[in-house]
Structure 1
């Protein structure tokens, strides 16, 4: 087998793996969408839930820093 064939086969395998993972990712995104729809049907505000999910991804010190800055800006604009 020549090097071109080996490289082409390896490339094909990489592409196929990526395609499978992309399909799994789409399925997971659909599942997440379904959970938000279920939460909404139970009266929860999904926009707020999405913000909470994003906040929980942050490290504690990063979240605290962002909260402090937001509070500073709110106070400066009279929104507190």
Structure 2
């Protein structure tokens, strides 16, 4: 491989790396904006009297597969029963 080919590959790799980094930076900016939007909606929910901790739990549960969610809920019920919490 000639020095010219190595230099060209280095230049192409550097340009590709720069593009990847810039894409990640743009996505990080978008993520920050979305996180701020979510905070605003949660603040609105709290202002209307909703329990934001419960809302976050519901959102987490809705992301799960129904069978996984049922298994988790059954395990929690079992543990609560074992501890005399029911």
Instruction: Tell me whether the two structures share a fold, i.e. TM-score over 0.5.
Output: yes
In terms of Rg, which structure is larger?
2
Structure 1: gaps spanning 5 or more residues: none
Aligned to 1:20: 26
- For residues 10-39 of structure 1, what are the alpha-carbon distances to aligned partners after superposition, in whole Å with 9 as ceiling and x for unaligned? 000000000000000110010001000000
How many residues get paired?
80
Map 1:1-80 onto structure 2 (within 5 A): 2-80=8-86
CA RMSD of aligned residues (A): 0.9
Structure 2: gaps spanning 5 or more residues: 1-6
Q: SS of the counterpart of 1:38?
A: helix
TM-score, with length taken from structure 2: 0.90
TM-score, with length taken from structure 1: 0.97
Higher RCO by CA contacts (8 Å cutoff, separation 6 or greater)? 1
CA distance in 2, matches of 1:40, 1:74: 29
Stretches of 4+ aligned residues off by more than 3 angstroms: none
